[in-house]
């Protein structure tokens, strides 16, 4: 009965998060409230025994803090690049006016950029670039939708490309080099299927000239772009060499950039281009949402609910490949952060060690499955708002080729795994 209260509370809270826009209540506020109330209920269930509960809370909080510090550092570096108009370096490389060629270029820039930055930031950057290149809203809808697909596929094979892969990496479920080696080809396959489909439909069509590029150049934009990218991609190398956690690597990169930008802009008196100013622009709401969700899932784990769920799944659907593939489809409806957080709690590391097939599939399916619906990923929701893409329009034009790509990617991963280990 006591666990039932926590489950009902989680379902109600989750529904409120999913219905954020109709209810007009921020999902961050709901997640934080859900987290605190869940731990209060857990304390009451245990008869007010805070002595046994507080060490558990502290243990979970230390792991969550690692993710939060990492995200804050990465988001600040990306925002610093954007403030310096550093992403113009990318837009200046794209010259073609052929729709099909442009789609391939945009998708592969997005795919690799997402692996370095993150899928949400990359989507914002690439859609901003598209606005300067394509005036026609119908054309831009297809391009923007494919940016979502490419960003999610690119984030799935990189330890820093998606918050869920970052969670798995920091949690010790996956290693950086292994996830790159095992998921790169399946991620490419999941992108190629819809990309080929839409490029065939666009074959021979040209894009009209656009005159939307009105951005004012900023000093040292190219230098900050290169420095920022190097800071981000050096984090896995830093972890490998020092064995310190990833958030230490990202804080090192941020501190170096902070010192350099202070020196570069001190004489120009451009405080708006310095880190102190940029810190006010990072999306703190998203970070607090992760904190709320992860604390809530931690409460469910402490209560033993996740272990019971894992045992039920084991008996009901013994094939974990099917379970994880279904999890990927579910991530197009339900936020993938709590889904992955729940699976981390359901499957202990001593049973499923680092780089187990289960964790690799979770990283791939949770990352790419979110592209099936426009509301299925943070990147999709943001692009939906930026371009006013309707849920129905995306479902009608984009979902089917993306689903084929997703299933092809899963099949590709299972095929490669069978050849390597079976």
CA neighbor of 69 nearest in space, from 254, 224, 227, 343: 254
Contact 154, 187 (CB under 8 A): yes
Rounded to the nearest 5 degrees, what angle is found at the Cα of 165, between the Cα atoms of 160 and 169? 80
Tokens found for residue 338? 């709590």
Tokens found for residue 213? 């590029």
Domains identified in the chain, total number: 1
Per-residue model confidence (pLDDT) at position 217: 65
- Burial degree of 269 (CB within 10 A; 0-12, 13-18, 19+): exposed
Per-residue model confidence (pLDDT) at position 213: 53
Ranges under pLDDT 50 in the chain: none
Compute the distance between CA of residue 399 and CA of residue 373 in angstroms, rounded to an integer: 6
Q: pLDDT digit string (tens) for 42-60?
A: 888 877 677 778 888 998 8
Domain assignment of residue 253, given as a range:
2-421
Per-residue model confidence (pLDDT) at position 291: 87
pTM score: 0.75
- Burial degree of 225 (CB within 10 A; 0-12, 13-18, 19+): buried
Q: pLDDT digit string (tens) for 396-417?
A: 999 999 999 999 999 999 999 9
Find all residues with CB under 8 Å of 421, minimum gap 6, and list them: 357
């Amino acid at each position: 009965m006591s666990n039932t209260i926590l489950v009902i509370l989680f379902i109600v809270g989750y529904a409120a998060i999913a219905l954020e826009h109709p209810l007009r209540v921020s999902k961050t506020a709901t997640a934080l409230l859900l987290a605190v109330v869940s731990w209060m209920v857990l304390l009451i269930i245990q008869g007010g025994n805070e002595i046994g509960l507080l060490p558990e809370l502290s243990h979970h909080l230390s792991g969550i803090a690692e993710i939060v510090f990492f995200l804050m550092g990465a988001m600040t570096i990306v925002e610093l690049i954007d403030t310096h108009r550093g992403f113009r370096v990318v837009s200046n490389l794209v010259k073609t006016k052929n729709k099909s060629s442009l789609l391939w270029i945009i998708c592969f820039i997005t795919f690799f950029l997402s692996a370095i930055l993150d899928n949400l930031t990359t989507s914002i950057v690439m859609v901003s670039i598209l606005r300067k290149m394509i005036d026609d809203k119908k054309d831009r809808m297809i391009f923007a939708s494919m940016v979502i697909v490419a960003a999610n596929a690119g984030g799935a094979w990189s330890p820093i490309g998606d918050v869920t892969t970052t969670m798995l990496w920091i949690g010790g479920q996956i290693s950086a080099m292994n996830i790159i080696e095992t998921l790169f080809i399946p991620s490419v396959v999941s992108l190629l299927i819809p990309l080929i489909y839409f490029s065939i439909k666009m074959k021979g069509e040209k894009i009209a000239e656009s005159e939307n590029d009105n951005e004012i150049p900023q000093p040292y934009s190219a230098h900050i772009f290169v420095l920022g990218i190097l800071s981000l991609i050096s984090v896995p190398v830093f972890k490998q060499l020092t064995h310190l956690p990833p958030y230490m690597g990202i804080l090192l990169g941020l501190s170096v950039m902070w010192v350099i930008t202070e020196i570069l802009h001190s004489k120009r008196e451009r405080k708006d281009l310095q880190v102190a100013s940029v810190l006010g622009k990072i999306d703190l709401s998203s970070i607090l949402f992760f904190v709320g969700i992860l604390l809530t899932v931690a409460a469910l784990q402490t209560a033993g609910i996740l272990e019971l769920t894992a045992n039920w799944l084991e008996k009901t659907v013994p094939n974990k490949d099917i379970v994880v593939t279904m999890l990927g489809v579910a991530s197009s409806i339900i936020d993938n952060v709590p889904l992955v957080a729940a699976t981390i709690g359901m499957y202990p590391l001593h049973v499923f060690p680092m780089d187990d097939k289960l964790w690799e599939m979770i990283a791939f399916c949770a990352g790419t499955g979110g592209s099936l619906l426009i509301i299925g990923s943070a990147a999709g929701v943001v692009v939906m708002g930026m371009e006013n893409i309707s849920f129905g329009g995306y479902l009608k034009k984009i979902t089917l080729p993306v689903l084929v790509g997703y299933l092809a990617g899963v099949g590709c991963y299972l095929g490669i795994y069978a050849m390597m280990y079976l």
